[in-house]
Amino acid sequence: MILLAIGVVLLGVFALCFRRERRRFSNGVLLLLGILCVGAALSGSGAEGAGPEMLVFFALALSPLLVLVLAGLLMLNGVVMLRREGVSPANLLSFGLGAALLVPYALLVMAVIAEWMVLGVVLLAVVLVAAYLGFVLVAFLLYSVVYGWVTRTDDAVAIVVHGSGLLGDRIPPLLASRLDRALRIWRTDRAHGPAPLLVTSGGKGSDEKVAESTAMAAYLVEHGVRDDEILREDRSTTTRENLLFSRELLARQGIDSRILLVTSNFHVLRTALLARSVGIDAQAVGAPTARYYLPSAVLREYVGILVEYKVINAVICGLLVAAPVALAIFGEAN
C-alpha cells in the first residue's frame, strides 16, 4: 500500500505541474515514476504466493533478450538510414546505439571468463548508467506522446512552421508533412473564425538555392493561402533561431501569445521545451514522419534532451558509477 500511495502522490504532483506548465521535462519523469509505482503496487497486490518473485524472475530473464533484440533492430534501422539518407553522424545514431547496447554483454563474458572483479564492478556501473539513460528515454517517449495528444490547435492567432531543409529549391517529404499539418490547422481555424497568420521559418543553407521560408511560402500559396497571410522568416538556421526570429516578426504584428509551432512529431517536445526556455508563449504540434526515419530522429532528440540537461545528467551518472566502486572498496576493507 505504501508503494501505491507514493505512486498516487506522484501522479497528483504530475497533474498539478502539468496544469501549471506542460512544457517541462520533469513532468515526464513524474508521470513515469507514478505509473511505475502504481503498476508495481497493483501487480504485487494481485499476485499470490510466488507471483511477485515470478514477475521479477521473468523480467530479469527476458530483459537481456529484449535488449539484444532492440540492438539488432537499431542496427538494422541504421543500415536502412545509411542507404536512404546517406552517411552522416546523425544517420549513424541508430547503428551506433545498437552496437553500444552489445558492450555490456561483451564485458560480462570477459568478466566471467577472466574472473576479474574490477571488470565486474565496471560492468555494474555500466548497467546502472544504462538503466538511468533507459529511464530517461522512456520518460521522453511517454511524455512526447502525452504532450502531443493534449496540445490544442483551435485557438491559435499565429502558426509558425519550422523548416527542416530543402532539396535544392524543392520541398522534401519531411517538410511537406509539416506544411500540410499547418494547412489543415489553418483551414479548420479559418472555418470557425479568423484565419491565423502563417509564418514560414527557415534560412538559406549552403546547399540550397533559395531560403527555406521562400520555398515554404510558395508551397502554401499553391495550396490556397494568400500571400498577404504569410510572414517569411528567412534568417534562422537552428530551432532556437526559428523561435527567436519568428517572435520578432510576430511582435511587429502585435502578437505575443496563442502561438502554435508546427514541426515533426519527433521534435515536438524539445521544441516546446526550447520555446519555454527562451520565453515564448507558444505550444507545439507535430506532423507525421516516415517510419524508417523515426528511430534515428527520436534518438537525435533524446541526445538533445540529455545535452539540454547535461549538468544534472552528469551528476546522476557520476553517482551511479561511484556507487559500485564504493561498495567494492568497502567490501575489500571488510
Residue 235 has pLDDT above 90, yes or no: yes
Q: How far is CA 289 from the centre of its chain?
A: 14
Using pLDDT thresholds of 50, 70 and 90, give the confidence band for residue 60. Answer: very low
State the Cα–Cα distance between residues 98 and 125, nearest whole angstrom: 19
Min mean pLDDT across 107-121, 202-216, 281-295 is at 107-121
Identity of the amino acid at 61: A
Report the pLDDT value the prediction gives residue 51, as an integer from 0 to 100. 46
Beta bridge partners of 199: 160, 231
Q: Which residues make up the CATH 3.40.50.620 domain(s) of the chain?
A: 153-289
Distances (CA, A) of 191 to 164, 223, 286: 28, 16, 21
Q: 238 or 327, which is more confident?
A: 238
The separation between CA 116 and the C-alpha centre of its own chain, rounded to angstroms, equals 38
Average pLDDT over residues 306-321: 93
Q: Which CATH superfamily is domain 153-289 in?
A: HUPs (3.40.50.620)
pLDDT for 241: 95
Confidence of residue 65 (pLDDT cuts 50, 70, 90): low
Strand 282-287 versus strand 259-264 pairing type: parallel
What mean pLDDT comes out for the span 115-136?
Answer: 78
For the chain, give me the number of helices (H) and strands (E)?
A: 12, 5
Return the pLDDT at 62.
47
CB atoms within 10 A of CB 184: 13
pLDDT band at 44 (very low <50, low <70, confident <90, very high): low
- What's the whole-number mean pLDDT along residues 157-176? 92
Q: β-strand 282-287 against 158-162: which pairing, if any?
A: unpaired
pLDDT above 70 (res 82): yes
- Output the pLDDT for position 67: 65
Read off the amino acid at residue 251.
Answer: A
pLDDT of residue 56: 46
Which range is least confidently modeled, 49-63, 72-86, 136-150, 242-256? 49-63
Longest distance between any two alpha carbons in the chain, whole Å: 79
Q: DSSP states of 22-55 as a string? A: S--HHHHHHHHHHHHHHHHHHHHHH--TTHHHHH
Whether the predicted pLDDT of 140 surpasses 70: yes
Work out the average pLDDT over 37-50.
Answer: 66
CA 187, 18, 305 angle in degrees (round to 5)?
A: 85
Q: What is the pLDDT of residue 16?
A: 97
Band (pLDDT 50/70/90 cuts) for residue 115 is: low
Say whether pLDDT at 58 is over 60. Answer: no
- Grid cell, residue 187, equals 483551414
CB-count exposure of residue 259 (10 Å: 0-12, 13-18, 19+) = buried
Q: Is the pLDDT of residue 45 over 70?
A: no
Q: Is 160 within 8 Å of 182 (Cβ atoms)? A: no
Q: What is the pLDDT of residue 66?
A: 58
